[in-house]
Structure 1
């Protein structure tokens, strides 16, 4: 009897061990299969990856783990054929798994805006928020050889010199696809017609931005806004209004002037009409936006006070006379420019000359009490050689200058720009160091940069610095291999209270459109990993 019980116990124990062994083997086999599946799926192009995610729940879970972090994919093509160039950049950005949350493209004037828009939406679908614009140049990595390039063209409708002294037409595209889990992104337009006044439209635009952010989060202020302007209308009143309505933590960057098409994820926003401005508004999440600045102008001469102001609305410019600060004599354009030439001492050959006007204006948003807003706005001096013979007025581009406004002259300065690029690189390096692990009891928290955008003045580039890829160097030196895209603007926009801005640049980094500067938008996210 005892022998039978012992045999039964031994048999039961043997079966139990066998079951445990089989179960363990099954578990190990499952883990191995998951690892192998992860390896395979992670190598698929985006379209095949999307299909694989629909195979089963377990495959979908593996796909979600693969795309658990924010991701930017970007590519540049200079192929002169629009269909081929679009195909090259699309093939590159969709070579790896990604789920498009937003799309931003920039093309040269030699490409058709509508054609490029249609070709991209055909591959990426029509529900993804999308903005495509024409710019004076593009920045990014070549889709075919992965070479990083800054390509600057001339003004719209023109041509520019290439590196061997010949001429190239404005053919090219840089495309960026963003996957940003934890953030909500949409394109919000500001539409305008000739008969409508700007003030109600500004109110509506700010309200649309706030309403959208509130609809997707518990906050009414977005993390950041990327703006694209159309035509020659002054963007500064809009930026001033956003500055008044949104907290300083909200980043605003972009291109003041250009030509663009947009598509919102919300069909009701896709209104046909005169599209003057648009923005990609980004919501709240674990993704942070950081802004750095490279300045490219130097102040020269005394401070002046506008004595008389005449506006030429047809040509969108202003005629000025002025007094030196503290003097009573009214100076004409010729005297003013002679003074500035004496200050420059002819050391700089034909510099681009601007006046930086300190504008103090009242601003009211959404029927709230008016508040004084102070901003520094740059206006280009028109036809310097011709104006030298004008005995009455100083001519500058743009409007909204008032009698009593103070201004100072600024000139483009590559030495200042080089030094400022070095400062920007140091500041981005500090951001990189800030991303080091911070140890807690259970986890390591790490800030990782996953992408960036550059908005650089069309006056900069190789012809300004005398060597290639200077504008992009602060980013590429600190974050090699991290996706980066950019454009050469008709007016670079920058607004932020970022610690990445040097104290000496804080004043110039007031909410405005800059000149001869480069604005860097760096995107990072905070990850938490088990501490082993």
Structure 2
């Protein structure tokens, strides 16, 4: 069908039916033929007749995720390669996500996707620090990071992972957080949260979606955004993504498609998955599961911020502290010396953070404020005889904090725990779908994973663990034939039920949704309808 001189299915089929008796084709044979078509030809075939449309709907009655990566040196070649791969089988894209290396022009990638897929398909394109996925040609799984302009001696401008998803029973759209120059950030965050709730309510009848994949602008503090989302959403809503990205998007609602200009600029973008209240009969249920592999360990005593200074022109906080229960004020040099002693003079070998326990009133719009306790992680920039310097703002005098350091042993152990937990969960699905020996059951009727996403810290990978594919192994070991795509991030967004969270969150009872040195997993499951 790629040949320009060949007739399309819609024009050729009536003649074939007249002269070849195609109308008498066996239903199973018709489905077999249609199931071998690439996505674009499949879409054309679905318009031929009611019979063909019914056959196509039967073929695509279950959800499907299709994903591929390419490391070809020319961006356009790489983009075409992954697009051809993900669209090589029948699929009707309900959403598309492309993550690319720094050599790509993300606006060009978006334009390519807009021209190739359905006009109302929501799309996000982001520039990332690295990619995870299966090669479009070799099918080999790769974890690739861009460091110092090279990846495994491959030019810097290579690397793209493209994922398209078909999720019947769900409604999906892109909702941006648009900053207006004259509006306070707080009011724009409130509108963002309310937009997500309104969209979800209109689609499903409830205000909390099943899941959100979120990309934040790297120059914007995402902590207040995640705190308000956490406040407003049910605990069943899973939120994953990249805290510090660069992105463009296309929403199915054209009123949301506001590009960067003098008046508007997107601070974040959310791909929202909501239940479809008008789901057709015969469509099963899609579930999302969240898992977290942490990669930092606490060290040293608990401290209390004694003084805090922030200069408006900087995004660095200066602070002094007291040990819990003591009055002596510690400067930055004293705090760092104490941590260095705790680490036996190995502090230079790790990345250092402070985890600040924040108790703040939170609300959205006119809603009643609620006290939220969160753990906010701030990178340590240094210290002297006056202050400790940490990245970011939002710390107050009286806040408690503790030092954390990157720890490959903790990360490896946590990764293994995630793999074990996913294995137990998979066995639980299998046991619940099993019936007595006297009962005959179709094997396809059990719950199954059909796709997933991975968001991993740029600091992890082979250089951190000393071995390949540790970050992807929990998913690959348990779901070896299930499509999965991922990115390496400058900060990992992960909010969800803790039942699959290995070793708990970094802050114990405090809720932490912006992580460091972690890997976040989103597993997508499907349960067929009962017969």
TM score, norm. by length of structure 1 = 0.89
1:110 corresponds to which of 98, 103, 106:
103
Question: Is 1:209–1:281's contact at 8 Å kept on the other side of the alignment?
Answer: yes
| CA contact 1:153–1:170 (8 Å) conserved in 2 | no
Contact 1:231 1:257 (C-alpha < 8 Å) held by counterparts: yes
For residue 277 of structure 1, the aligned residue among 268, 272, 277 is: 268
User: 1:35 — aligned with what?
Assistant: 28
Aligned partner of 1:85 in structure 2 is 78
Could you tell me which residue of structure 1 aligns to residue 64 of structure 2?
71
Residue equivalent to 1:11: none
Match of 2:165 in 1: 178
Aligned mate of 2:426, from 427, 432, 435 = 432
Alignment deviations for residues 172-227 of structure 1 (CA, whole Å, 9 cap, x no partner): 11000000000000000110034321111121111111110111122221001111
> Which range moves more in the overlay, 344-353 or 485-494?
344-353
Task: State the partner residue of 1:26.
Answer: none
The answer to whether the 8 Å contact 1:113/1:260 transfers is yes
Aligned residues of 1:107 and 1:135 also touching (Cα < 8 A): yes
Report how far residue 446 of structure 1 moved: 1.8
- Provide the C-alpha distance between the structure 1 equivalents of 2:73 and 2:34, rounded to a whole number of angstroms: 34
For 2:19, the equivalent position in structure 1 comes to none
Q: Deviations over 1:91-146 (max 9, x none)?
A: 00000000000001100111111111112222114321000001100111111111
Q: How does 1:119-198 map to 2 (within 5 A)?
A: 119-154=112-147, 158-160=148-150, 162=152, 166=153, 168-198=155-185
- Correspondence for 1:23: none
The aligned length equals: 491
Query: Which residue number in structure 2 is paired with residue 414 of structure 1?
Result: 408
Cα 1:248–1:131 change in 2 (3 A) is: same
**Contact persistence 1:239–1:511 (CA under 8 A):** no
Structure 1 residues 405-437: Cα deviation after superposition (integer angstroms, max 9, x where no partner): 111000001111110000000111122112211
- In 1, Cα distance between equivalents of 2:327 and 2:462: 44
**Structure 1 residues 342 and 168, CA, compared in 2 at 3 Å: closer, same or farther?**
farther
Distance 2:396 2:231 in 1: 21
Corresponding residue for residue 461 of structure 1: 461
**Deviation at residue 295 of structure 1 after TM alignment:** 0.6
Partner of 2:51: 58
Compared CA separation, residues 99 and 46, structure 1 to 2 (3 A): same
Shift of 1:504: 3.6
Is contact 1:255–1:493 with CA below 8 Å preserved after alignment? yes
Structure 1 stretch 207-216 or stretch 265-274: which is displaced more? 265-274
Using the alignment, how far apart are the partners of 2:107 and 2:299 within structure 1? 44
1:239 alignment partner in structure 2: 226
Using the alignment, how far apart are the partners of 2:24 and 2:376 within structure 1?
61
Q: Secondary structure at the match of 2:247?
A: strand
Distance 2:24 2:470 in 1: 48
**Cα distance between partner residues in 1 of 2:77 and 2:222:** 35
* Alpha-carbon displacement from aligned partner over 1:217-257 (angstroms, at most 9, x marks no partner): 22221001111101322111111111111110010111111
SS of 2:528 mapped into structure 1:
strand
Indicate conservation of the 8 Å contact 2:172/2:271, yes or no: yes
2:446 aligned counterpart, secondary structure: strand
1:460-499 C-alpha deviation (Å, 9 max, x unpaired)? 1111111111100000000001000010111100111142
Give 1:477's aligned residue.
477
CA gap of 1:220–1:503, structure 2 versus 1, over 3 A, is same
CA distance in 2 between counterparts of 1:241 and 1:194 reads 21
Q: 1:503: how far off?
A: 5.5
The CA distance in 1 between the partners of 2:241 and 2:169, in whole Å, is 23
Question: How large is the Cα RMSD of the aligned pairs?
Answer: 1.9
Aligned counterparts of 1:349 and 1:329: Cα–Cα separation in 2: 26
Deviation at 1:33, TM superposition (A): 0.8
Secondary structure at the aligned position of 1:328 is classed as: coil
Alpha-carbon distance, 1:451 to partner: 0.2
Deviation string 1:334-356 (CA, Å, 9 cap, x unpaired) is 01000000000134652000001
Q: Does 1:46 pair with 2:39?
A: yes
1:375 is the counterpart of 2:383:
no
The answer for the alignment partner of 2:7 in structure 1 is none
Task: Output aligned runs, 1:288-367, within 5 Å.
Answer: 288-347=287-346, 350-367=349-366
Cα displacement (A) at 1:170: 4.3
* In 2, Cα distance between equivalents of 1:490 and 1:481: 28
Indicate the SS of the match to 1:202.
Answer: helix
Q: Distance in 1 between matches of 2:155 and 2:399?
A: 42
Match of 1:96 in 2: 89
Question: Is residue 509 of structure 2 the alignment partner of residue 505 of structure 1?
Answer: no
Following the alignment from structure 1 to structure 2, what is the Cα–Cα distance between the partners of residues 45 and 233?
Answer: 41
Query: Under a length normalisation based on structure 2, what TM-score does the superposition of the two structures give?
Result: 0.89
Mapped pair 1:255 → 2:248: no
TM-superposition CA deviations, 1:366-414 (whole Å, max 9, x none): 20111111100100011x4xx3xx2111111000011011110000011
Rounded to whole Å, the distance in 2 between the matches of 1:523 and 1:506 is 25
Q: Which runs of 5+ in 2 are unaligned?
A: 1-21, 277-284
- The answer as to 2:394 corresponding to 1:400 is yes
Q: Distance in 2 between matches of 1:278 and 1:107?
A: 17
Q: Tell me the distance in 1 between the aligned counterparts of 2:163 and 2:241.
A: 15
> Whole-Å Cα distance in 2 between the matches of residues 215 and 439 of structure 1?
38
Secondary structure at 2:447 match in 1: strand
